[in-house]
Structure 1
Amino acid sequence: RYTRAEVAQHRTPSERVWVTYGTDVFDVTEFVELHPGGPDKILLAAGGALEPFWALYAVHSQAHVLELLRDYKVGELSPDEASPPPGDTGDPFAGDPPRHPALRVNSLKPFNAEPPPELLTQSFPT
């Protein structure tokens, strides 16, 4: 069992990169270079909780991501530190503006969409 302070000491590959998710502690050092978003992105969470970052990058809310993470588990937070860390983990996209209904949505959070081809060809100058 680990404290949040112990996890916070593991912020670089030379010190090992640890993160928490829920009450579990993970050593993701070997995954840093494999992270699809690049090492810089995953290192933002080094030594701390994944939840605030995963709230921004909803692609992580998939079963296969959690399965992959399980392979890196090294322990759990001590019971007195198992409650979530302080901070607002509300919806960071709650203030997004409404989007045009013709857009073909690829993801809602963060919003990613493209116009349908028939709209693009109506006017070539873009």
Structure 2
Amino acid sequence: MSQSFTPADVAAHNSPDKGMYIIVDTAVYDVTKFVDEHPGGAKILKRVAGKDASKQFWKYHNESVLKKYAPKLKIGDVKEAAKL
């Protein structure tokens, strides 16, 4: 079962010791263990950890990358904040 995260939940996971989560579109990915495998280098993932990385992701990747890595890295989705 997929977990639901708030943007604040994701923001708390912004370093290797806390775990590194990113958001692409509405999906949340745990890239903590992938950081050393990332072809573009660890620095890029560390820079976007805890943030919505959709803009940066789509600039350099296509949908086939998500299909390849999502089963291993996707941990949930961002739930919408309550509207007051």
Give the TM-score normalised by structure 2. Answer: 0.81
Where 1:32 maps in the other structure, the secondary structure is coil
**Structure 1: tracts of 5 or more residues without a match:** 82-126
**Equivalent position of 2:38 in the other structure:** 35
Where 1:69 maps in the other structure, the secondary structure is helix
Aligned length: 78
CA distance in structure 2 between the aligned counterparts of 1:20 and 1:35, rounded to whole angstroms: 16
In terms of Rg, which structure is larger? 1
Give aligned-pair identity as a percent.
31
Q: Is 2:17 the partner of 1:14?
A: yes
Where 2:34 maps in the other structure, the secondary structure is helix
**Structure 2: tracts of 5 or more residues without a match:** none
CA distance in structure 2 between the aligned counterparts of 1:69 and 1:13, rounded to whole angstroms: 19
Where 2:22 maps in the other structure, the secondary structure is strand
- Is the alpha carbon distance of 1:76 and 1:13 closer, same or farther for their aligned partners in structure 2, counting shifts above 3 Å? same
Q: What is the RMSD computed on CA atoms of the aligned residues? A: 1.7
Q: Is 2:73 the partner of 1:80?
A: no
Give the TM-score normalised by structure 1. Answer: 0.56
Instruction: Choose between structure 1 and 2 for higher RCO, CA contacts under 8 A separated by at least 6 residues.
Output: 2
